[in-house]
Structure 1
Amino acid sequence: MSNAQEKASILQLVSEPVAPDIDRPGFRVYDHPVTTSTGNKLRAGVYWHGQRPGKGDAAPAPFDHWVCSPLHVSAVTSCNGAHFGRLLRFRNTLGQWREWAMPMAMLSGSGEDLRRELLSMGVEIDPDGFKQLNRYIQSQHPDRQVTAASTTGWHGTELFIMPGENIGQGDAILQSELANLDDFTRAGNLDGWRDNVARFSAGNPLLILGICTALAGPLLYPTRQQSGGINLHGKSSTGKSSIAQAAASVWGHGEQLLRTWNATGNGLEGIASQRNDTLLALDELGESDPAKVGDIVYALANGTGRARATRTGGARTTNRWRVSLLSSGELTLPAKMAEAGKRSKAGQEVRLLDLSAARRHGCWDHLHGHPDGGSLSKAIKRASVTHYGHAGPAFVRHLLDGEGLDGLPEALTLLRAQYQPRNNLEGRAADRFALLALAGELAIGCGLLPLKPDAARLAMLELFANWQSERSADPSEDAAIKALVLEFITRHGEAHFSELGRDSAPVRDRAGWWREDAGRRTWLLTSEGLRRAVPGFEQRTVLEVLDAAGWLTERGEGGKRAKQVKADGQSQRLYHLQPREA
């Protein structure tokens, strides 16, 4: 035998070894092509080795049915004794091995959803053998058991779960019906991100804010803070989207991870649950539904999806999440809601803080050698799709490698003490800016952000002061209540009120009476009239606001806000109001 023939023979033995004895019937997986003892050459994959009954006295005839490309069931997954699944390890068309924690529920029916995901990940499946694939997976019961997590993010205080990667300690894995979560992708390297994205934050408070918002996601759980974030608003083509893409590049592709407000509430809930403990970046607030955007903001900040029923009437598992939200657009939240004739409430506005993006050069203060803001914006956008997906995981590793998560609440308290809010609502806004400052200072400390110490803290203090100055000193909820009362009296004063003590024609839909006091009119509203004047607010809140503003001019016995008055021959409890224009 020549050397060439001997080499070819050896290669054949290496590439197509002889399969060990086969117990039929049964499944078997071959990672490489093999030759059976009967001389059949089998390509790599999962096989069903069966036997057909022989005719007459003939022995059964063995057959080998290829089911799919190589796929192993590595572990049984579950969460608290429920939500069982299987950890699949498979080789795709390019020869790369991948893992996916698959919910067992995907095997229900014909298993079409399972096959769709596997095919999209590069698994090759016999079109006529789908039942065998279901049988194969359900027949495997490996000894290894792994805890299944339904969301990304913290699983306890020592493990942070991401698609395809666990950071920290613990045997758990993300289990999802989506095998390929493209949000958390990587390219380039961390040094490239620092040099081409993060370095431009020096002297640019809004870019610091964007990156800090992205890094604040993993801090929500250990500091016990609620979801929420910032809406950068201002003219188009000033750099807002560049800041949003820079923030998105902390966790994934700068463009792909950035989503739009042009989505349903259910769709945004699904995205938020996939981004748990990280960043939810939404561009173009102006594309949202003005009639629903307020409710969506509440839902995103509260971290709980709508309760839904199954086909049998039972309750579906509710989506839950914690996200740091960064929004951008030309409009503020109140302006967008006003398009549908709705008034924003303080609770909505404090969950999504509107912050003007108007700086010296669009969104920028320092151009770093670029001729204008547009050039800087383009450079950041290019870099956000070249180097991405490294900073977020590196930040989490720093949190776990350092002194742990226990000291973070105290550190946040120290930063929060430096803010000077004028009321409770501004206090909640200060909580948000202090959290962003904490994220930034931690990132500076571990070298992720190439800034001097205190740069993030000072930038957030400056932006909080800007946010304060943009708002009226009068809280928006208080202002809305007083505006509604004044508008109601102005529009319906003659129709739904009459002068107290004078006989007049019956008043339809009466809201109260009025009287002249030293040339100033006092409006005496019934309880029902006050509710009509200020719909959507609790009456107790309304009375507190009007009382604090000095609009309630008289009190009843015991200091009660309603005073007993005789009107239309009956004794009635009425609220005495003297609205003021300013």
Structure 2
Amino acid sequence: IGLAGADGFGVHLFGGSSAGKTTTANAASSVYGEPDALKLTWYSTALGLVNEAAAHNDGFMPLDEIGQGGNRRAVAESAYALFNGVGKIQGAKEGGNRDLKRWRAMAFSTGEIDLESYIRADGGKINAGQLVRLLNVPISKATEFHGYADGKAHADAMKDGYQNNFGAIGREWIAYLAEHREQVVKIVRDSERRWLSLLPPEASEQVRRVASRFAILDAALRLSSDLTGWDESVSHDALLHSFNAWVSEFGMGNREAKAWVEQATAFLQQFGLSRYLPYPDSDPRDLPIKNLAGYRVTNRVTDVIAFHTWPTVFKDEIAAGANYTAFAQALADAGMLDKPSKGISKKTLSHGGKQCRFVVLSLPIDDSDDEEND
């Protein structure tokens, strides 16, 4: 990643116990040294992991079992900090600032659950930036055991291999990179062009960024084929399989937009019948409504409900934590917001004898059943 001028990133391989995650991580670590001696853990503070990242500058950083991270917030912060490449600015006692730590690291993490589920487990929020830095890839069950009777026999053979043979290929790999710097850059750029050409037009910039990271992995396998003996096309297919598995977790579109649609949908599902007064035919039994969010109007022909929402409720509650204009545009693109040509609200309903401005929302249409029936 240093020779290619790329940012650091990580891969998080997740799946059930005894699925082969730790065996895979140890085999990868054995490229550079004894796996047990190199292994790090998520059970750390964000600062502690940043210090380890600086110590592993331009190197490989194995992190075992994300579930052992006792502090979910620290793990969430680390998913950003590990790959930002710049440490915290800190003042020095004698004046001025301490020297900044800078690094590039490639992390390989494992766990029984993915990063997003882990952080959300106690109410934490995940950002797309974390998910394009540490890439969630579900582990696939092995089907090829290379002459061994079953998966356990194969894993035992791998364990015997990486416990007794390690470090040599890493030195050869680094020596090769040092002697072929121009070729490295050329192969990486070629891989990037190839990977980006595979994406559909609707792929978001976030997906394109991740595709470029898989291109770096692909380039590394192409460049090291003489050391590994692995066929380039087979290696590419394996990475493409993992990329497609990542896409199935993340999606092909903009992740923030998807999260905002889910956030707005959750609000309407939770409060659509309790904080929106029916209009114009309200029942006195509906009153009073605590924390009125707006009015709901049912189309008598289509039965579609429109939620006419006070702009302050939209900005402060529905779009909480986001830029509300970008949030509104994402909902408009998803067909959830009836957006005027300017702004996000428009005069729709009479309230207290005058026309008032509302943000007009609707729940997304779920046509999954129709697709299944078709």
Normalising by structure 1, what TM-score? 0.56
Structure 1 pair 320–501 and aligned structure 2 pair: CA distance change class (3 A): farther
Is 2:346 aligned against 1:563? yes
Letter in 1 for 2:351: A
Provide the residue aligned with 2:224 in structure 1: 443
Letter in 2 for 1:339: A
Q: 1:521 aligns with which of 305, 308, 312?
A: 305
Is 2:27 aligned against 1:249? no
Structure 1 pair 379–442 and aligned structure 2 pair: CA distance change class (3 A): same
Task: Give the Cα–Cα distance (whole angstroms) in 1 for the partners of residues 347 and 168 of structure 2.
Answer: 68
Provide the residue aligned with 1:459 in structure 2: 238
Task: Give the Cα–Cα distance (whole angstroms) in 1 for the partners of residues 100 and 180 of structure 2.
Answer: 34
Segments of 5+ residues of structure 1 without an aligned counterpart are 1-219
Segments of 5+ residues of structure 2 without an aligned counterpart are 367-374
Q: Based on CA coordinates, which of the two structures has the bigger radius of gyration?
A: 1
Letter in 2 for 1:477: E
Task: Give the Cα–Cα distance (whole angstroms) in 1 for the partners of residues 278 and 95 of structure 2.
Answer: 56
Q: 2:39 aligns with which of 258, 265, 287?
A: 258
Structure 1 pair 573–395 and aligned structure 2 pair: CA distance change class (3 A): farther
Q: Tell me, what secondary structure is at the counterpart of 1:420?
A: coil
Q: Tell me, what secondary structure is at the counterpart of 1:498?
A: strand
Provide the residue aligned with 2:103 in structure 1: 321
Structure number with higher helix proportion: 2
Is 2:334 aligned against 1:540? no
Task: Give the Cα–Cα distance (whole angstroms) in 2 for the partners of residues 569 and 563 of structure 1.
Answer: 16
Is 2:203 aligned against 1:423? yes
Deviations 1:252-280 (A, max 9, x none): 22111121111111111111111111111
Is 2:93 aligned against 1:308? no
Task: Give the Cα–Cα distance (whole angstroms) in 1 for the partners of residues 30 and 271 of structure 2.
Answer: 54
Is 2:314 aligned against 1:530? yes
Provide the residue aligned with 2:262 in structure 1: 483
Instruction: Map residues 57-456 of structure 1 onto 2, 5 A cutoff.
Output: 220-288=1-69, 289-311=71-93, 314-359=96-141, 364-402=142-180, 404=182, 405-421=184-200, 422-424=202-204, 425-444=206-225, 447-456=226-235
Aligned length: 355
Structure 1 pair 488–313 and aligned structure 2 pair: CA distance change class (3 A): farther
Structure 1 pair 570–439 and aligned structure 2 pair: CA distance change class (3 A): farther
Judge conservation of contact 1:501–1:568 (CA < 8 Å) in 2: no
Displacement, 1:346?
2.1
Task: Give the Cα–Cα distance (whole angstroms) in 2 for the partners of residues 546 and 449 of structure 1.
Answer: 48
Letter in 2 for 1:498: L
Q: Tell me, what secondary structure is at the counterpart of 2:312?
A: helix
Instruction: Please provide the CA RMSD for this pair.
Output: 2.6
In percent, how many aligned pairs have the same letter?
26
Structure number with higher strand proportion: 1
Provide the residue aligned with 1:129 in structure 2: none
Task: Give the Cα–Cα distance (whole angstroms) in 2 for the partners of residues 452 and 296 of structure 1.
Answer: 35
Displacement, 1:313?
6.8
Judge conservation of contact 1:272–1:300 (CA < 8 Å) in 2: yes
Q: Tell me, what secondary structure is at the counterpart of 1:255?
A: helix
Structure 1 pair 309–572 and aligned structure 2 pair: CA distance change class (3 A): farther
Deviations 1:10-66 (A, max 9, x none): xxxxxxxxxxxxxxxxxxxxxxxxxxxxxxxxxxxxxxxxxxxxxxxxxxxxxxxxx
Judge conservation of contact 1:228–1:301 (CA < 8 Å) in 2: yes
